[in-house]
Amino acid sequence: MHFTGLKSVGESWQQAAQYLDNNVGGTACLVAAMERASVQRLVFSSSATVYGQPDAVPISESAPLRTTNSYGRSKLLCEDILRELQMADSRWQVALLRYFNPVGAHTSGLIGEKPTGVPNNLMPYITQVAAGQHPFLRVFGDDYPTVDGTGVRDYIHVMDLAKGHLAALHYLEREGKGIAVNLGTGSGVSVLQLAAAFTQATGIAIAHQILARRQGDVASCYAATDLALNALAWRAQLSIEAMCADAWRWEQSVRNL
Ligand code: UDP
């Protein structure tokens, strides 16, 4: 994908501006408010998207930072602000948590994310296919250099992700300095493997059709997890089947609301 500035070809300026406004503007406002309140410790939700098209997987935290779309660019700009803030003022301690692909929901089925409109992300689309809202899963490309040709990602249960935040907060308290760290499982799962795991976990078959690649998608993206383990003493525990079962429980709760 061609990407030289704040937005990529195919993205609207409105969308790019919204990401800049919400993410970068929001972070700048938050930092100013924190300064006023003399609070200088922050756990920031960054994203694996700051690695752009990776040269190699698993992706380590020392991999080059670059982006392929305005969302990624906005997250990287936030990281830059927070990195420079820490360099300029040693009272600031920031954990930049680079999320891979958070999925699932609280096991109670009471807390989750309800996408508006047609979901862009894979897991909520799968749960909507299971619920009969769409006739089949649209698989965006089966000609990637991956295990079965479909895109590979590092799906992580949101409950594991939540525990990663606590571990990061403890790190900041203990070490008195910031960190940039991946939160992922370290395992790559393809689109078709996720659909199969969903069926395994729920007993519901997911029909699919192969479509063209989605613009801007990378073939394979999964985390190196050694820094998280060594520095935060944290590792993801929950299986891909648990992610699917909890995502499905949440989808059913949302439908009953
Ligand atoms: N994907 C797909 N159909 C969908 C949504 C996503 O085939 O309806 C694929 C997508 O091409 C990628 C993977 O599933 O290979 C994960 O996509 P998602 O948008 O959830 O995460 P991201 O690409 O942002 O990491």
| Model confidence pLDDT, tens digit, residues 113-125 | 988 899 999 999 9
The mean pLDDT of the chain is 94
Band the pLDDT of 1: cuts 50, 70, 90.
very low
CA of 227 to the centre of ligand 1 (A): 26
- CB under 6 Å to ligand 1: residues? 101, 120-122, 125, 138-140, 151, 153, 191, 214, 217
State how many domains the chain has: 1
Contact 98, 61 (CB under 8 A): yes
User: Which structural domain range is residue 39 located in?
Assistant: 13-255
Strands 137-140 vs 208-211: parallel, antiparallel or unpaired: parallel
Identity at 121, one-letter amino acid code: N
In a domain, 7, yes or no: no
- The pick from 1, 8, 120, 140 for probing ligand 1's pocket by mutation, whose C-beta has the most ligand atoms within 8 angstroms, reads 140
Q: Which atom of ligand 1 is nearest to the CA of 100?
A: 25
In a domain, 81, yes or no: yes
Indicate which CATH number applies to the domain containing 67.
3.40.50.720
- 51 is annotated as an active-site residue: no
What's the pLDDT at 161? 98
Mean pLDDT of all residues in 176-202:
98
Q: Which atom of ligand 1 is nearest to the CA of 103?
A: 20
Rounded Cα–Cα distance for residues 224 and 205 (Å): 32
In a domain, 214, yes or no: yes
Considering the entire predicted model, what is its pTM?
Answer: 0.94
In a domain, 8, yes or no: no
CA of 69 to the centre of ligand 1 (A): 15
CA of 122 to the centre of ligand 1 (A): 5
**25 pLDDT higher than 50:** yes
What's the pLDDT at 245? 98
The arrangement of strands across the sheet holding 152-153 comes to 189-190, 152-153, 220-221
- Is the peptide bond preceding residue 58 cis, with omega within 30 degrees of 0? yes
In a domain, 3, yes or no: no
CA of 36 to the centre of ligand 1 (A): 40
User: Using alpha carbons only, what angle is made at residue 131 by residues 125 and 134, rounded to the nearest 5 degrees?
Assistant: 55
**How many other CB atoms are found less than 10 A from the CB of residue 228?**
26
What's the pLDDT at 255? 81
Closest CA to 185 of 231, 238, 148: 238
In a domain, 103, yes or no: yes
Higher local confidence (pLDDT), 188 or 69: 188
Kindly name the residue from 19, 51, 71, 222 that is annotated as catalytic. 71
Q: What is the pLDDT of residues 31-86, one digit of tens each?
A: 999 999 999 999 999 999 999 999 999 999 999 999 888 899 999 999 999 999 99
Mean pLDDT of all residues in 7-34:
88
Q: Which residue is closest in CA terms to ligand 1's atom 1?
A: 122
Burial class (CB in 10 A: 0-12, 13-18, 19+), 65: middle
Rounded Cα–Cα distance for residues 102 and 225 (Å): 15
In a domain, 218, yes or no: yes
Contact 111, 58 (CB under 8 A): no
Q: Which atom of ligand 1 is nearest to the CA of 151?
A: 15
In a domain, 58, yes or no: yes
